[in-house]
Amino acid sequence: MPARLFLSSGDLLADRRFEFARDLQLGGDLPAAADLLEQAIELAPNFPTAWFTLGEIRQELGETAKAIAAFRKAREADPQDRHGAAVRLMRLGAEELSSMPRGYVQALFDQYAPRFEDALLGDLNYRAPQLLFKAVVAVRVAARKPAFFKRAIDLGCGTGLCAAEFARQVDHFTGIDLSSGMIEEARATGLYEQLEVEDMVAGLNSKADASADLVLAADAFCYVPELLPVVSEIKRVLAPGGLVAFTVETHDGEGVVIGEGLRYAHAAEYLRKTIAAAGLKLAQLEQASPRMEDNEPVRGLAVVATKT
């Protein structure tokens, strides 16, 4: 659950009820927790964290209509939607698939930044950078070209794990991430010549045509539903002969869905069509799990495309 959005001092009674409700929720007494949250909301109708938590509990209790109503109230109370109520509504089928709220993604990763690497590497067996390295080298070997690049862009760079994997293959790295917390962690690595707090498309928009030889996106496109805008911008900034390499989560159906982990999953055929529509040539698309979740490998794909 995202960090609390705290109330003013005048809402202390609601705040206390919220705390008691969280204790009950953690203890497994969901109906009693829901009752206390209803009391908190009656005292403080614009309490987004209480509304969001109530939505979570209603969803867990199987009360879908009530969960949807609570998530909508949470979003109304916090227009930035830092808890990601819109994401829950998409998962519940109450709203059409769309981009995640910017405030939600920023809040999620700003909080996550200090423990990001420990969680990914220690708990989730994260290996997206290694998958991309292996894929890029394989494509370059098949093309009889060296796997060395003068200028690379790391989209959704996080703390710099992908740049670390490619450090010996790239002369100059630019990192782009929506989270200022992640950018500060990446800055501390000394691996990047330039770092930007921006979303992917806007960050690429500021780059000149044919200004990069390699673009990487390790476990970043799972936060982007429609990939054609970003892949089209990647094509523009790539120099002739340049590569884009990325991982995605995937599924057996068509198009894009939002999974149980509240991330987007892209079908293989959707990726093929998107790459072709952007004017790139698909060089590799292989099954590859980027990490574990609930002790199971996350279904994923490692993709490389080239600009001819």
C-alpha distances in Å from residue 241, one per residue of 52, 213, 302: 48, 7, 19
What does 133-166 look like in DSSP terms, one character per residue?
Answer: HHHHHHHHHHTT--S-EEEEEEET-TTSHHHHHT
User: Model pTM?
Assistant: 0.92
Arithmetic mean of pLDDT, 204-228? 98
pLDDT of residue 117: 82
What is the structure's pLDDT at 5? 53
* Whether pLDDT at 14 is above 70: yes
Is 171 in a helix, a strand, or coil? Answer: strand
Q: pLDDT band at residue 139, thresholds of 50, 70 and 90?
A: very high
Neighbours of 159 (CB within 10 A): 26
Average pLDDT, the chain: 94
The domains located in the chain, with CATH, are: 9-96 (1.25.40.10), 114-306 (3.40.50.150)
- The predicted pLDDT at position 114 comes to 86
The span from the CA of 44 to the CA of 48, in Å, is: 9
**Is the pLDDT assigned to residue 230 strictly greater than 60?**
yes
For 154-198, write each residue's pLDDT tens digit.
999 999 999 999 999 999 999 999 999 999 999 999 999 999 999
Residue 9, pLDDT > 70, answer no
Quick check: 129 and 196 in contact, CB under 8 A? no
CA distance 283 to 9: 58
Contact residues for 258 (Cβ-Cβ < 8 A; gap 6+): 87, 90, 91, 97, 225, 264, 265
- Backbone φ, ψ for residue 213 (5° rounding): -100, -15
Burial-class residue 216 by CB neighbours within 10 Å (0-12, 13-18, 19+): buried
CA distance 303 to 292: 19
Q: How many CB atoms lie within 10 A of CB 43?
A: 18
